[in-house]
Structure 1
Amino acid sequence: MGLYKCVVYDKDKKRKNLKIELDSEEEINNYISINELTMVSIKTIDNKESIKLKEKELKILCRQMGILLESGCEITKMIEILRNQSNNKISNILSEIANHIQRGNSITESFQKSKLFSTFFISMIKAGEVSGKLDTVMYSLADYYDKEDKVKSKIKTVSIYPTILLVLSAASMLIIMTMVIPRFEMIFISNGMNPPLLTKILINISSFIRTTYIYIIIVILGIIPTSIHFIRNSTKVIRLKNNLKFKTPVIKNITQLVITTRFCRALSMLVESGVQIIDAIDISAKIIDNKFIYEKLLISKGYIEKGNSIGHSLNLFNVFPKLFISMINIGEESGRLEESLKTIDSFYSNDLDTKIERIMRLIEPIIILIIGVIIGIFMVAMVMPMFDAIVSI
């Protein structure tokens, strides 16, 4: 099986770039002929490029597929319609899926062989294909990815806003250190003034930055990319980061809410679609994307396999809030686990929104207070000696 990049013209004379995974160029030519395309060029790609579909893209794709399937559109016709109106990335993915279907693979196998969709997505597709309710599953997936997109957007907003303020604050302090403090230093020297210790410290820091700024820039440019690479690829650092997320006071609450809503939402959809509870828990645990939590949930899954209740098994490691466990126990005992999971999802989604908004309201005054303290220190260190000198005259 090889990956080929083809430049073609369709029957409407529109130029397209396609990435097709087939066994040989002969099969590529057959594919081109069947789809009434005109080949311009073909190139073999040794390694499949890393493509990641965003939640927003998945949301739109699933919604469109749900609408077309509900209207009675046949699967290959549906993919053809979506392929013609999607961007190049989605169009190439759909072309590959259509190719697998044309070769006799099931819908689930065709999506799975693209290697671009999560285990959760594939499991939902399989459940929909087996039950004959693929359109309903697609609508559920669209709602799921819509909620995921909103949660991620809010979390990004929480992290980006203070970052911008801190960068602006650092830039302001750099200007003060390199442009303002040297002027005060000249005034002190020209008037023979002996400034206090705090003022001398700021003057020395300013002098150090001005004389070594080239080396500082080189060090920063070297440290930042190295640190990012190390944080993303080091197993020990990733484990430490995941542990800290669940132990740092303020971050812990948000992390726990995010984990609970993601796990509960996925588990609810999988159970409702007919996936066995053991498999559903394993798939939902992977969605959390936190190895620290995933390892704990694997142990909980083992306890369930031994005959223990779901609530008791999930409560072993304090991963989820007590209310979540209580609702799981109620749902399990009453035989209405799906409804309990939906209620939990709704409750914790609202709670997450409330806490994120609260954090947003607190971040701004905290950063302003920090900036105010820094400016206050500067005023005391640089301006007060000037007033003292004037008063003494």
Structure 2
Amino acid sequence: MVSARGPRWQQFLQELVMVAGTSASAYFLIRYLISRLDFDPESQKKEEQRRKSAAILRRLDGGEESDEDSPRKEGKRGRGQKRGDLVLNQYEQAIAMDVVAPDDIPVSFEDIGGLDEIIEELKESIIYPLTMPHLYASTSSLLTAPSGVLLYGPPGCGKTMLAKALAHESGACFINLHISTLTEKWYGDSNKLVNAVFSLARKLQPSIVFIDEIDAVLGTRRSGEHEASGMVKAEFMTHWDGLTSANSSGEPQRVVVMGATNRIQDIDEAILRRMPKKFPVVLPPPQQRRRILSLILKDTKVDRENFDLDSIINRTEAMSGSDIKELCRDAAMAPVRELIREKKAAGLQMTSVDPKEVRGLRTEDFFSRPGGVRSIPSSAQLRPPVKTSSEKEWSTESDAISEVDTRPSAEMAEPPE
């Protein structure tokens, strides 16, 4: 009995060990296969957003460590937590992809021709209250940055360029919000993204949220509008000027929403109410066109004897800054095209063309060629150019390098510094 009972227990133990080993092997195999399966099709996209958003926030921290002489760094000193250490959810990570570091924008207020009054108002009412709140709040609780700023006017007059310069000069966290960022296929995700815009802006404050073509996102609400669009606008206004517009201590959030549009009549009235600062960016007047031309042509070779700056200023009365830039770009091709045709007519190869042989820019290059940008006729073309005593001699950088011209150049006028 004992001898028969012994092999039976041994057989039972062997079977138990085999079952346990098989079960453990199957468990780890199934666990491994499940871990390899991707149940979330957007997991790679979310992981990429996480890495890129973290890199952008670290870039903001790196920008604060240099150039401490800049006034925009003054308001950031003493910040305890680094921006790269912030914990963001998936929606805030998606919005962080639109964050732009101020040092990455190569546009400053000096690169804008004219608009001096608007630039000074932006500095005094937005940049200084955002970056130096202690200076303003110590005098009155009313001395804070406005909740919203609107730039409106015809296309090509410099609205977006003003926003770029503001982002560079202010040093505040600049969120260049794109319409595609707020557009999601899942119902309700767009509202969560709007919530993430303001939650991220509060974490990174002082912040400026810029929306180009704001009329496309926050247009007038209508009865036949899609439900999702109306909810996005309601969510935007709730966070913009609602119960969450101040922190726990009652201090107003240092977040400014800036919009640009050329269709101000299509923006909802409730949105316009939240933008108390409205700046019309209109077509440039003569003095501003002079400044624009001087900035565009500062490194261009000019034929002084055949170049009349006042004539160009008068004939571009109804043109925007963008039109003037395209006009100058198209005119600058004329001397190069002329030299190429001369070399081809002489039977020379293009490799033998010397850039120094390109002649200077002339007035006729702007308006005499077919296919170029045409100026809109105006009454100013019928009047002779009138020069004031404050206008000085105008020159480009190429003229400063070349030999001194002793001949009179009264036709050229220098814009004010």
**TM class by shorter-chain length?**
under 0.3
Larger RCO: 1 or 2 (CA < 8 Å, sep 6+): 2
TM-score, normalised to structure 1's length?
0.24
TM-score, normalised to structure 2's length?
0.23
Q: Which has the higher helix share?
A: 1
Greater Cα radius of gyration, structure 1 or 2: 2
